[in-house]
Amino acid sequence: MMILNKPLRSLQIMAVFILTQASPSVRVLAEVDVFKQSAELGSRTAKTSDDVREYVGQLDKTEKALFSLTQAQEKDLRKRYESFSKEVSKLKQAQDLATSDIDAMTSKGAAYFSSWSASIAQISDEQLRQASTERRTKLMKEHDELAARLHDIGTQLQPFMSNLQDIKTFLRADLSPANASNANGMIQKSQTDARLLKERIAVVQAMLKQFLSQAPK
């Protein structure tokens, strides 16, 4: 479970106290807010899932272009290099979008679960309050585990991209069969890293699907 720092915990406690003492109109606004936060988290998670899928699709294209580059003869080396270069640029765009979504989803999740906690404080019936608390705890744990896995994947994307950019730069200066042969070690490493990355992302995609199926709509 996510551990709040002291200032944030104090603010959350204060928010709960204010809500329990608030007028009915203020409570209605709070209920609307938590409902809105729930919908926004669902929307953010769905967008993250879509953009992660787009990244994987572009990763496949980049991997194929990289393999094609290793099979190039001198006459078609430039054409295959240019194709590889374009796919790497598209992969960088897909990476930036996916990592931005991951950060936004994590932030939205924190806001939602904080609002949910404040909402629970307004429930007078002990049984309903306990049921809501247990449901929140379960979903929050799943969200935090998902966010941690996504963050872990995110930290692996940049080193992988850096290797691809190195290959681009290395070959751009001397696009010859001999120099392409010199890049074989890094190319093989990048191919292996791409396969491992897709395997790890597949696990996270399953977690995203699971969370989306259980999260409040």
Close Cβ partners of 15 (under 8 Å, ≥ 6 residues apart): 114, 118
Looking at the chain, the number of H-run helices and the number of E-run strands are: 6, 0
Is the model more confident about 74 or about 32? 74
CA angle 192, 197, 201 (to 5 degrees): 155
- Each residue of 194-212: pLDDT tens digit? 999 999 999 999 999 999 8
CB-based contact 91:131 (threshold 8 Å): no
3-state SS string for 40-51: HHHHHHHHHHHH
pTM over 0.85: no
23 class by beta-carbon count within 10 Å (0-12 exposed, 13-18 middle, 19+ buried): exposed
Average pLDDT, the chain: 85
| Per-residue pLDDT at 71 | 87
The DSSP secondary-structure symbol of 76 reads G
**pLDDT reading at 6 higher than 80:** no
| Per-residue pLDDT at 217 | 63
**pLDDT reading at 1 higher than 80:** no
- Each residue of 69-111: pLDDT tens digit? 888 888 899 999 999 999 999 999 999 999 999 999 999 999 9
